[in-house]
Amino acid sequence: MELRRLRYFVAVAEERRFSAAARRLHIATPSLSQQIRALERDLRVTLFDRTPRGAELTPAGRVLLERARVILAEVDRAREDVRSVGPDRREQVTLRVCTMAERVLDGPLRLVGVAVPGTEVVVTSSPGDDAVEAVRQARADAAVVWNRPQEHRDLHGVVLGSVLFGVVLPQAHPLADRSEVPVTELGHGSAVTVVMFPWSPFSGVWQRTVDHLLPGGAHAGQVVVEPDLINSPEAMLRAVAAGSGVAPGILGVAEHMDVDGIVVRPLHPPLLLDLEVVWRPPIRPAVRRLVDHLLDAVDDPDVLVSRRR
């Protein structure tokens, strides 16, 4: 199986049209079609259903796409590793950081580019489940994510520590003058509405958060989802200020956001959510250095993560 043909296959799968993939690859469409046919003959399967709407992946094609992305990413990574052997070269590591985690790791992430010896760290933000999938597909070397659900535990990882969440209330809320809000009073009856981030990118912590805020269980319509991930968590806080309900918020972060009309209070009992760093085995030395840097950063008193005891 030729790597060139794998790259062609991925391009067609992503573009869903041979003509669009050919433009992306700067080759003629007939030539691209011939290369895909050759790959199908080599594998003895049909990878695409050719329809008037374009090229649709077959079940075999979907399996190959998942594997091909990993293979090509590993080949590119091997090339970078070999080139980084020179005395003045720094090995590149890509780190995905899930939404809201960058708020509590702000200092270490700003310094990570120069703090890990011999390593150039490229940091990008990503929703939690997307960050895990990027590591699984070798599009990222490591990711900082909120506590993972069971289906994401095929990757290796370590808990960095716990982050303390409170509750964000409208200023006129009956519990707004409390120094601490008991969850038993917050969720009493069915009057309270909880504004939550979307479930799918945060599946490992979503239900736990709702269960903590509403220990008696949620009634129909008692949980509403703020879908704006790009501006999260500000969008959730603006929804609270507008009277949509109450919301979870990171203590030490939520109260410093530029959103009027809200107050942030600790919860009793406290809501603690774990942050993890995950990677694909076997771990490369440069990735290990990055993980060690993040673990050491948790001991910084300015970081809003507490190491688990």
Q: Give the pLDDT confidence score for residue 268 in this predicted structure.
A: 94
CA angle (255, 130, 128) in 5-degree steps: 30
* DSSP-assigned states of every residue in 284-309: PHHHHHHHHHHHHHTTSTTSS-B---
Q: 81, 108, 133: which is the final residue of a domain? A: 81
The pair of three-digit structure tokens given for residue 217, joined into one six-digit string: 């269980």
Q: Give the pLDDT confidence score for residue 84 in this predicted structure.
A: 60
Residues of the chain under the 50 pLDDT cut:
none
d(CA 248, CA 211) in angstroms, rounded, equals 12
CA angle (15, 17, 22) in 5-degree steps: 80
Q: Give the pLDDT confidence score for residue 154 in this predicted structure.
A: 87
Q: What total number of domains does the chain contain?
A: 3
Q: Give the pLDDT confidence score for residue 272 in this predicted structure.
A: 94
Q: 81, 109, 130: which is the final residue of a domain? A: 81
265 and 279 together in one domain: no
Q: Give the pLDDT confidence score for residue 292 in this predicted structure.
A: 93
The pair of three-digit structure tokens given for residue 75, joined into one six-digit string: 């080949």
169 and 240 together in one domain: yes
15 and 38 together in one domain: yes
Q: Give the pLDDT confidence score for residue 182 in this predicted structure.
A: 93
Provide the whole-model pTM. Answer: 0.70
Instruction: Tell me the pairing of strands 194-196 and 223-225.
Output: parallel
157 and 135 together in one domain: yes
156 and 278 together in one domain: yes
d(CA 131, CA 142) in angstroms, rounded, equals 8
Burial class (CB in 10 A: 0-12, 13-18, 19+), 306: middle
Quick: pLDDT tens for 266-276. Answer: 999 999 999 99
d(CA 25, CA 21) in angstroms, rounded, equals 6
At 124, which CATH number?
3.40.190.10
108 and 203 together in one domain: no
- To which residue do tokens 């809000």 refer? 181
Q: Give the pLDDT confidence score for residue 300 in this predicted structure.
A: 79
Task: Please state the separation of Cα 309 from the chain's center in Å.
Answer: 25
Structural domain boundaries enclosing 194: 162-272
Q: Give the pLDDT confidence score for residue 212 in this predicted structure.
A: 93
Q: What percent of the chain has pLDDT over 90?
A: 44
